[in-house]
DNA sequence: TGTACATCAGTGAACGCGCGTTCACTGATGTAC
DNA sequence: TGTACATCAGTGAACGCGCGTTCACTGATGTAC
């Protein structure tokens, strides 16, 4: 990216090349180390190797840097859900589950983005129209797959809004609980990624099968069922 | 509480009476006004009408004050779930739903507690054993009603852990999305309390009925169902 | 190809601020005798 | 009932700090001619 190699003791060129992205990257690294609470704009600049005033060439304020990162996060979330759904046949229950797994999968793999998106760092989304739009678009993916499933008679319908809220809530809650360390191993250590994804699959399966107009195996409880 | 009335220009007695609780209350009020991000111990003391050093007679640090508040929150959460369940007959599906409504109801009515409990203000719960215990106890209520329902054959069983995680996730997610303002009216205004509770009831009903071993009305889709 | 000049990215010093925490203190309380 | 004294809750000044933001500046780039 930078015109001169930074290796070999060459002094860093006066112009950075892509400081905007470098600041966003530095922010993610600091968030991974110490969390939102302790994040400062000065530390971000320090981490990116520039003076702390330099960031004002790219972001109007600390909050607007975080808003840019949150926007990036919502786009990534949308892509994660889309990609997961496209790997499915055109079957509403399977697509709903896939979208849910995509949501959780994004969240547990990008907890820094999650913090900025949902951690209350941004006073009001309304000041950042592109952020509002990105968030809306991500939610719409989930809402659409639910609405479509209901219209096609594949999902039990109360009103669509209830089902949409429920679908959002379960994947959001699972993501937050795992990323926040509340849902963890019995010794308190966070679940390894593979187990997080496995839990995401089984929870979303439970939910979307419970929502299916027909029970998958007919009308008896699932094959796996057994009273212990 | 205070031995002399504070009205009538009587000067405030030197000893407060119950400064500990007054500091907790002041914290809640400031959280309601401006959120965790801007909360300072000095402002809390100012709000409670004492010098900013006084709080160190009651809390070792800012974080330990927040931990005390979080602990209080988890106890309230547990009470809200217990109370809601006790209003039900001894029927697992209804009790699960009631516990869920209790969870959401607590959260949307005490968003300041929620921030302290789940907002990342406390670096590590492990430093506060009573907090860990209160959080564990609250979760156990939800986990127990699920386990009991499965053992009695009233809830479909994958493994109990999946169902417990799913139950926790859906009520937690719904709470966070409503308290955080993400789940709101079409004009962006937060839902009024009555609608929040109504949504809590319908979402938890959808979930717990989807989980019931038998569909409530037999084996056809719910009475309300209709393709739009 | 060479030069003047507008543009703009990054610098470094400075502003003013409020923070968390510590400390030696003072005022009030209650208990032992 | 009265007094000495230990206890402890609250005070106010101080410490040291890093923060977000602004400003006049300088170095680099690229374009018009």
pLDDT tens per residue across span B15-33: 777 999 999 999 999 999 9
Confidence (pLDDT) at A64: 97
CB contact under 8 A, A35 and B226: no
Would you call A203 an interface residue with chain B, using a CB distance cutoff of 8 Å? yes
Taking the whole predicted model, whether its pTM rises above 0.85 is answered as yes
In this predicted structure, the answer to whether residue B210 has a pLDDT above a threshold of 50 is yes
Flag if B210 and A207 touch (Cβ within 8 Å): yes
Mean pLDDT for the stretch of residues B206-228: 61
Q: Does the pLDDT at position A157 exceed 90?
A: no
What's residue B107's pLDDT? 98
With residue B192 as reference, give the H or E element that holds it.
none
Distance, in angstroms, between A86 CA and closest chain B CA? 25
- Closest nucleotide C1' to the C-alpha of A64: D20
For residue A43, what pLDDT is reported? 98
Residues in B closer than 8 angstroms to A219, CB to CB, are: 219
Q: Is residue B224 pLDDT above 60, yes or no?
A: no
Range with the lowest mean pLDDT among A111-115, B129-133, B215-219?
A: B215-219
The confidence band for B216, taking pLDDT boundaries of 50, 70 and 90, is: low
Which of A91-95, A139-143, A215-219, B87-91 is the least confident region? Answer: A215-219
**Structure confidence at residue A17 (pLDDT):** 77
Say what the pLDDT of residue B12 is.
63
Chain A interface includes B166 (CB < 8 A): yes
Question: Is B180 an 8 Å CB contact of chain A?
Answer: yes
Q: Which of B37, B177, B211 sits opposite A120 (nearest CB)?
A: B37
Protein-to-nucleotide distance from the CA of A13 to the C1' of C7, whole angstroms: 18
3-state secondary structure chain A: CCCCCCCCCCCCCCCCCCHHHHHHHHHHHHHHHHCHHHCCHHHHHHHHCCCCCHHHHCCCCHHHHHHHHHHHHHHHHHHHHHHHHHCCCCCHHHHHHHHHHHHHHHHHHCHHHHHHHHCCCCCCHHHCHHHHHHHHHHHHHHHHHHHHHHHCCCECCCCHHHHHHHHHHHHHHHHHHHHCCCCECCCCCECCHHHHHHHHHHHHHHHHHHHECCCCCCCCCCCCCCCC
CB contact under 8 A, B119 and A119: yes
Q: Is the pLDDT of residue B170 over 80?
A: yes
Determine the distance in angstroms separating the CA of A90 from the nearest CA of chain B, rounded to an integer. Answer: 19
What mean pLDDT do residues B126-154 have? 97
Q: What is the signed CA dihedral for A32, A36, A37, A38, rounded to 10 degrees?
A: 50
Please provide the average confidence, as pLDDT, over all residues in chain B.
89
d(Cα B55, Cα A184) in Å, to the nearest integer?
Answer: 34
Confidence class for position B118, pLDDT limits 50, 70, 90: very high
Predicted confidence (pLDDT) at residue B220 exceeds the cutoff of 80: no
pLDDT band at residue B10 under the 50/70/90 scheme: very low
DSSP B180: T
Cβ <8 Å between A227 and B168:
no
* D13 C1': nearest CA residue: B53
- In this predicted model, what pLDDT tens digit does every residue of A187-215 receive, in sequence order? 889 999 999 999 999 999 999 999 998 76
Report the pLDDT value the prediction gives residue A215, as an integer from 0 to 100.
Answer: 67
Rounded Cα–Cα distance for residues A25 and A72 (Å): 11
Give contacts of B 8-67 with A, CB under 8 A.
35-37
What pLDDT digit, counting tens, does each position of A23-65 carry? 999 999 999 999 999 999 999 999 999 999 999 999 999 999 9
Partner residue facing B120 (CB), from A119, A173, A183: A119
Protein-covered nucleotides on strand D (Cβ within 7 A):
8-14, 18-24, 27-29
Q: Is the pLDDT of residue B154 over 70?
A: yes
Size of interface A-B (CB pairs under 8 A): 162
The predicted pLDDT at position B214 comes to 75
Contact state of A174 with B169 under an 8 Å Cβ cutoff: yes
Q: What is the pLDDT of residue B218?
A: 41
């Amino acid at each position: 990216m930078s015109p001169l190699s930074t290796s070999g003791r060459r002094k860093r060129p006066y112009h950075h090349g892509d400081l905007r992205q470098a600041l966003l990257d530095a922010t993610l690294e600091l968030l991974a180390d110490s969390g939102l609470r302790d994040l400062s704009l000065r530390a971000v600049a320090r981490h990116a190797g520039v003076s702390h005033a330099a960031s004002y060439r790219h972001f109007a304020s600390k909050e607007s840097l975080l808003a840019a990162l949150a926007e990036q996060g919502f786009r990534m979330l949308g892509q994660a859900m889309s990609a997961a759904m496209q790997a499915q046949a055109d079957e509403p229950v399977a697509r709903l589950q896939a979208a849910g797994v995509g949501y959780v999968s994004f969240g547990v793999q990008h907890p820094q983005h999650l913090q900025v998106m949902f951690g209350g760092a941004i006073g009001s989304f309304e000041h950042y129209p592109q952020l509002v739009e990105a968030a809306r678009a991500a939610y719409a993916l989930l809402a659409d797959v639910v609405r479509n499933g209901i219209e096609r008679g594949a999902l039990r319908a109360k009103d669509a809004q209830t089902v949409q809220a429920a679908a959002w809530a379960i994947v959001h809650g699972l993501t937050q609980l795992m990323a926040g360390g509340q849902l963890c191993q019995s010794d308190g250590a966070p679940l390894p990624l593979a187990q997080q994804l496995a839990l995401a699959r089984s929870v979303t399966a439970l939910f979307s099968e419970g929502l299916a107009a027909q029970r998958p195996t007919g009308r008896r409880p699932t094959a796996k069922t057994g009273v212990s």
